[in-house]
Chain A
Amino acid sequence: MSEPCCQITDEKYLKLDEVINQYKGKAGGLIPVLHQAQLIFGYLPKDVQIRVAEGLGIPLSEVYSVITFYSLFSLQPRGKHTIGVCLGTACYVKGAAEILQALEENLGVKVGESTEDGLFSLMQTRCIGACGLAPVLTIGEDVYGRLTPEMLPDILKRYEQ
């Protein structure tokens, strides 16, 4: 991975330490710290987990157990753009499964995987609350609605610099 999002530098650890200090001694701080850590590093590798565990004074096993419980925390580096196909009910009854299948074919990856060039990660998401536009997908913070499989290549093109 050569994406800037996922390079681990000392500067990132300094940032992480700042976050840890902010939540140190505060009850229930682990999940907010993990959110911030994932923003900083792009994912949560073992070294980051160790730093969080030591910083907050929580056993590493507990940190790992919390990370693996919640689906938004990732132990693997993600692509530059994360595509989330909504599989909420409204999207499902309007054909989200076909959208997902078409994306898998287009990108040549399965759900949960990243493309070889590190550009896209394909995820399925829970209802994002845009049911009126079903079926929808998100790329980063952009939302695309009323999709048909034919629209996908054009949408993907916008992110392939």
Chain B
Amino acid sequence: MEMFRSHVLICGGAGCLSTGCKAVLAQFLAELKAHSLEEEVKVVETGCIGTCDLGPVIVVYPEGVFYQKVKVDDVKEIVEEHLLKGRYVTRLLYERPVSGEQIPHYGDIDFFRRQKRIALRNVGLIDPESIEEYIAQDGYFALGKILTEYTPEQVIEELKASGLRGRGGAGFPTGLKWEFTRNAPGNPKYVVCNADEGDPGAFMDRSVLEGDPHSVIEAMAIAAYAIGAKQGYVYVRAEYPLAVERLSHAMDQARQYGMLGENILNTGFSFDLEIRVGAGAFVCGEETALIASIEGKRGEPNPKPPFPATSGLWGKPTLINNVETYANIPAIFQRGAEWFAQIGTEKSKGTKVFALAGKVRNTGLVEVPMGTTLREIIFDLGGGIPEGKKFKAAQTGGPSGGCLTEKDLDLPIDFESLKAAGSMMGSGGLIVMDEDNCMVDVARFFLEFTQDESCGKCTPCRVGTKRMLEILTRITKGEGREEDLGLLEELAENIQATALCGLGQSAPNPVLSTIKNFRDEYIAHIRDKECPAKVCRALMKYTITSELCKGCGLCARYCPEKAITGEPKKPYTIDQSLCIKCGNCLDKCPFNAIELK
């Protein structure tokens, strides 16, 4: 085996790809060659390291030095200084916010130090295109152990003992799901991976598939052995072409190494996988709709029961788990159910990956033990709210969830506590909002999303969400009526109670949760025709502060409606009845004399 004295890991996640990591990688190869280091230093393109806004990021091992925002021009210096002379390139090191203290080592940076990585254990650490690197991290060890030492019943017992619950949203106990599918009559049985990660703002499944695809393959093979299946499907959304490419490459490698296909590891057990690519329908993340889509039909959901465990793909017993759930499974069998069960809270074991985005300093993926508080995630790992703004709310659970506010910051997060707080875990999207975000507008945004994605099969969702959206739209346009809040709440309850699938049942959640937490903001829109966050354009008023206005006339010249009038060198005025709130005057005024209220 080749030995290298140093490894340069270059993040190849979506964030770093768009900031130019491929060019940095090519430059490394060229510089290493120029310095005849190509046999001493190995360059590896990894999956997402997690700090998406610092990209392109690289980590140099064995020291574990973390460099951020590395440009092509920086590569020569890293090679000559760090790799040749052993001196760190300090200007590229991470600096702690506020104190500005430099932190050279990856493991000492708060963002990483406070994480506990189980599902993401290999993401950002190994080359996702190399099965050897996965195996070197004990990959396929759990599968080997299970096929040679465990009965399927023992696998299920161990999984139940671990306390793992589904990471796709509902938090159903995974072991129990496996048991139901195993015990369901009917053959053949199928194993399905739900990689239709549709929640806007959540990208952990993408990260696992792109950064550690073998962990999903291994887990699905274990699941197939446990429930008695020979065929599996991974349903990936079409928006993730790189995930499809990496997964399909990993499947080929697994077949070559005898980890997929006939007679796996010479044990007589056979299992194979097929990828099915979605075609842009959010509802396909719902399991019965996903099954319809794999069958080649419109992705419309079906009533449950029957659950997929008894009647799923082509009417046969089918096990569906999501990507993050699967990614936990090899680790559980490597280290034991007891080890896993001691992490987390009483009812929610293990860790959860959160996709931290929105108005937060460190955006990216974080994996923390269940029971970590929102404050720790947003302020300690996330580095707080940028630009000195104030935290307002965090949306969890995407369009099916709700918002958490200041009072919930010290809540230990798990499946139960989030539900009790009026939100939900969902797939782990965590969008932070500051004082500049209007909660009515956010609620309208989510409803616009669910309304657009409603498949139209059942009336409560198809018509109900449309009516709710109309009401919310008129509120944001300043045409809200006193009775609107009551009407929204009544519609919401009816939709929750009567919609066919999870999409419809949960669609009203963001509205209810924002009404509950930010009622005053709704009332300001409806009664006072004001948007406190200054987001809803129709409710805003542009005025000219006469003390600041020098009468230059620039605003009047750019006003498309001729709403601004005045005499040169005297303060101008805006005729509110003509103003269309385009904002041109505000952009053009050189004296900051235009105020937005």
A residues bordering B, Cβ < 8 Å? 27-32, 34-35, 65-66, 69-73, 87-90, 92-94, 125-134, 136, 141-146
Contacts and interface: CB of A to CB of B under 8 A. Distances in A.
B15 interface: yes
26 contacts: A27-B295, A28-B295, A28-B296, A31-B296, A35-B279, A69-B281, A70-B281, A71-B280, A72-B280, A87-B449, A89-B398, A90-B200, A90-B201, A126-B198, A127-B198, A128-B239, A128-B240, A129-B14, A129-B206, A130-B15, A130-B18, A131-B355, A131-B357, A132-B15, A134-B357, A143-B14
A92 B445 contact: yes
A23 to B, nearest CB: 9
Interface string B100-140: 00000000000000000000000000000000000000000
A133 B299 contact: no
Q: Which of A128, A132, A141, A144 gathers most chain B CB within 10 Å?
A: A132
Interface string B280-301: 1110000000000111111110
Task: Name the residue among A30, A71, A93 with the largest chain B CB count within 10 angstroms.
Answer: A93
A76 to B, nearest CB: 15
Contacts of A125: 239
Contacts of B278: 70
Interface band, chain B: 35 or more
A112 B220 CA distance: 39
Given A66-B297, A132-B15, A145-B18, A93 B431 contact: yes
B359 interface: yes
Contact of A127 (B203, B294, B314): B203
Given A28-B296, A132-B51, 14 more contacts: A27-B314, A30-B297, A34-B279, A35-B277, A66-B297, A69-B299, A70-B299, A90-B357, A90-B431, A127-B199, A127-B203, A128-B14, A129-B197, A144-B18
Given A127-B199, A129-B203, A70 B15 contact: no
Contacts of B282: 126
A89 B445 contact: yes
Contacts, number: 142
Nearest to B399: A89
B280 A126 contact: yes
Contacts of B276: 28, 31-32
Interface in B430-466: 431, 433, 437, 442, 445-446, 449, 455
Contact of A126 (B55, B239, B300): B239
Contacts of A89: 200-201, 357-358, 395, 398-399, 429, 431, 445-446
A34 B281 CA distance: 15
Nearest to A90: B357
A141 B18 CA distance: 10
Interface in B310-345: 314
Contacts of B442: 93
B18 A32 contact: no
B281 A145 contact: no
Interface string B235-256: 0001111000000000000000
B274 to A, nearest CB: 9
Given A27-B295, A89-B398, A128-B239, A136 B18 contact: yes
B52 A130 contact: yes
Closest 6 interchain pairs by CB? Answer: A132-B52, A129-B203, A88-B200, A70-B279, A90-B357, A131-B357
B6 interface: no
Contact of A93 (B314, B399, B433): B433
